[in-house]
């Protein structure tokens, strides 16, 4: 076991299509790994097709292993909010349905407090005209997605960037968050 491994934590975020939620967190200092997967539902070991059907109750999500000393949870929350439309209760951008809704899955009480505080701060900022609907939920079993979904942005960069642009995500982020290309 590596010396710092005992202080690593997990963070789990659902932000619509998990392809778009890996790169913003990946390769940051203190981020150990980012895994695409499914969580929040009832089906054990679901497949992508099952999750997309809407029958499992799972969200597409990313689970991040991080060193909170190097990369605090608050920074993860900031990055998360800047990747999504937190006012959309029906999915994210082009992707519709429960599996594409946004949520923060907390792993312990402190994460819950920080998530609630960041949501309240965003609500009070006036950045959005509509209410913030992103849920804050207790973490449940996380099931890694199929291998072809892992680090999709590296494996299929052309398709990844076409999807981001075509889905409307990039235009929304630019309009509301002023996110530059390095942060997508």
What are the helix and strand counts (H, E) for the chain?
Answer: 7, 8
| Helices 109-125/73-81 angle, 10° precision | 40
C-alpha 153/C-alpha 114 separation (Å) is 29
Sign of the torsion formed by the C-alpha atoms of 139, 141, 145 and 147: positive
**Residue 38 CB burial class (10 angstroms; 0-12, 13-18, ≥19):** buried
Catalytic-role residue among 11, 14, 15, 17 = 17
- Cα-Cα-Cα-Cα torsion 83, 143, 8, 106, nearest 10 degrees, comes to 60
- Max distance between CA atoms of the chain, in angstroms, equals 48
Measured CA distances, 184 to 11, 22, 48, 171 (Å): 19, 9, 23, 11
Active site residue 17: yes
Cite the active site residues.
17
């Amino acid at each position: 076991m590596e010396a710092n491994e005992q202080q690593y934590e997990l963070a789990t975020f659902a932000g619509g299509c998990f392809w778009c939620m890996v790169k913003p967190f990946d390769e940051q200092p203190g981020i150990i790994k980012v895994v695409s997967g499914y969580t929040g539902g009832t089906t054990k070991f679901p497949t992508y097709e099952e999750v997309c059907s809407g029958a499992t109750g799972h969200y597409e999500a990313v689970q991040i292993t991080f060193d909170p000393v190097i990369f605090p949870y608050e920074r993860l929350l900031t990055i998360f909010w800047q990747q999504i439309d937190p006012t959309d209760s029906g999915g994210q951008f082009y992707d519709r349905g429960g599996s594409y809704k946004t949520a923060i899955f907390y792993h312990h009480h402190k994460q819950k407090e920080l998530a609630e505080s960041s949501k309240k701060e965003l609500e009070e900022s006036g950045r959005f005209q509509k209410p913030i609907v992103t849920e804050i939920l207790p973490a449940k079993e996380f099931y890694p997605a199929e291998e072809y979904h892992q680090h999709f942005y590296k494996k299929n960069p052309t398709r990844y960037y076409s999807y981001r642009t075509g889905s409307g995500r990039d235009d929304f982020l630019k309009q509301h968050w002023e996110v530059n290309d390095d942060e997508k």
